[in-house]
Amino acid sequence: MKSTSIFTSESVTQGHPDKLCDQISDAIVDHFLQRDPYARVITECAVAKGVAFIATRFASQASIDIPTVARQVIHEVGYDDGEFNARDCTVLTNLVELPSTARVYQDERQMDEAALEALTVQHQVTVFGFACRQAKALMPLPICLAHSLAQRLSAVRSNGTLSYLTPDGTTQVGIEYCDGKPCRIHSITIVVSQQSAAAPTANTLRDDLIAQVIQPIFQDEPVQPDDRTHIFINPDGPKVGGGPAFHSGMTGRKTAADTYGAYARHSGSALSGKDPLRMDRIAAYAARFAAKNVVVAGLAEVCEVQLSYSIGLAKPVSMQVDTFGTGTISDTAIVQRLQANFDFRLGGIIRRFELRDWPARRPAGFYRTLAAYGQVGRVDMELPWENTDLAEALR
């Protein structure tokens, strides 16, 4: 008899208040690094009705107009009218300039072994990376589909197809697993808010979202909705308005959506709003890179990589691999191969992924783009930690 289970993951649109805060925080990081690749910056944001509050600690040769950056993001996400909009909202800032010694010019590409060992972690963290063969992106299928639905929601709003939608929305996809493999779509949930002046009936909203959002996303998926799939559209009734005027947001509250949709473990630390010297951000990318390359190398069907770092050390104090019984070699052997072929030190990760350079290469925003629809497993943008160039060496 087959063993069955159901797992559900959630995503949110770029206009969800939490994701708006993530994007503002990462846009500030982008602006600093575009002008000063060696800037130190940590920034957090909170939004509510009529107000955005931004706290930033920085050491940089660059000067950034932070309120202007915030208003630009709010405008581009789609908040131009109503009780929270880019033009009229109050932007409060708390800016702390760190001592000049916090910004140290250190080009990791030019560092020798002694210099890399001297570049140590300044806070402790345990992070996780995960990969599996449920989707082309080597990610859990529920979060991949939830992200795709959320991106499609934003697209049909911004291109005018469903112009009555506001930027705020959430999606959920429940997958039924048979013996650990996706076998059917159990449920699809979409919660959206509408502009009061153009709000359609519940039946019209349902028909529009099925035709313009759900069907286009699932048309090429190997696992399709069936006549038993539950489709919930605003199951607790119509919503008018949405956004920060109706529920507050804060940087870092959607870490599950940023990573693996709670299907696999994550550190719980916010990824957005942090420069490349913050291990809780960049080590999560390194762990994902390692897990994905293990799977591509054929060493396992499923792989989780755990990295733990302590203050004052350059490299992980511990590294664990779990292949959940799918490995073709032992988990210990995989750890040894990873350690032999990848530099998990702080400077090694920055050097491998060129993390200081990407904002300048993408003037429209690099880290900000990561701040919505997942920071790992992306197929819509080039990310160095999604490369599989380590797989051959691991074999």
pLDDT digits (tens, 9 = 90+) for 272-290: 999 999 999 999 999 999 9
Query: Left if phi > 0, otherwise alpha if psi is -120 to 50, otherwise beta: which for 172?
Result: beta
pLDDT at residue number 238: 84
Mean pLDDT of 332-345: 98
Q: Give CA–CA dist 190/78, Å, rounded.
A: 19
Structural domains of the chain sorted by starting position, each given as residue range(s) with its CATH number in brackets = 4-12+141-244 (3.30.300.10), 17-101 (3.30.300.10), 118-134+252-394 (3.30.300.10)
pLDDT at residue number 258: 98
CA distances from 171 to 46, 272, 350 (A): 22, 21, 33
User: Which amino acid is residue 204, in one-letter code?
Assistant: T
pLDDT at residue number 239: 85
* Whether 72 contacts 27, CB under 8 Å: yes
- The string of pLDDT tens digits covering residues 56-96 is 999 999 999 999 999 999 999 999 988 999 999 999 999 99
CA count, 13 A, side-chain hemisphere, 390: 26
* Whether 267 contacts 126, CB under 8 Å: yes
Average pLDDT of the chain? 96
Q: Give CA–CA dist 207/204, Å, rounded.
A: 5
The dihedral of CA 220, 383, 22, 360: what is its sign? negative
Q: What SS3 class is residue 187?
A: strand
User: Which amino acid is residue 143, in one-letter code?
Assistant: I
DSSP sequence for 79-144: --SSSS-TTTSEEEEEEEEPPGGGS----GGG--HHHHHHS--SS-EEEEEEEESSSTTSS-HHHH
User: Which amino acid is residue 90, in one-letter code?
Assistant: T
- The string of pLDDT tens digits covering residues 353-390 is 999 999 999 999 999 999 999 999 999 999 999 999 99
- The string of pLDDT tens digits covering residues 31-56 is 999 999 999 999 999 999 999 999 99
Mean pLDDT of 134-144: 98
Q: Where does the pLDDT of residue 2 fall: very low under 50, low under 70, confident under 90, or very high at 90 and above?
A: low
Q: Is 90 exceeded by the pLDDT of residue 150?
A: yes
pTM recorded for the entire structure: 0.96
Q: Is 60 exceeded by the pLDDT of residue 8?
A: yes
* Whether 298 contacts 288, CB under 8 Å: no
Q: Give CA–CA dist 57/332, Å, rounded.
A: 40
Q: What SS3 class is residue 3?
A: coil
DSSP sequence for 259-298: TTTTSS----S--TTB-TT-HHHHHHHHHHHHHHHHHHTT
Q: Which two tokens stand for residue 238?
A: 């119509």
Residue 289 burial (CB count, 10 A): 28
Question: Dihedral angle at the C-alpha atoms of 343, 346, 349, 351, nearest 10 degrees?
Answer: -100
Q: Is 60 exceeded by the pLDDT of residue 1?
A: no
Q: Give CA–CA dist 312/375, Å, rounded.
A: 27
Least confident of 197-211, 298-312, 320-334, 335-349: 197-211
pLDDT at residue number 91: 98
Contacts of 40 (CB under 8 A, 6+ apart): 57, 58, 59, 60, 98, 102, 103, 275, 277
Q: Where is pLDDT greater, at 239 or 384?
A: 384
Q: Is 80 exceeded by the pLDDT of residue 196?
A: no
Q: Is 80 exceeded by the pLDDT of residue 227?
A: yes
Q: What percent of the chain has pLDDT over 70?
A: 99
pLDDT at residue number 7: 98
Pick from 260, 274, 190, 298: which is nearest to 22 by CA? 274
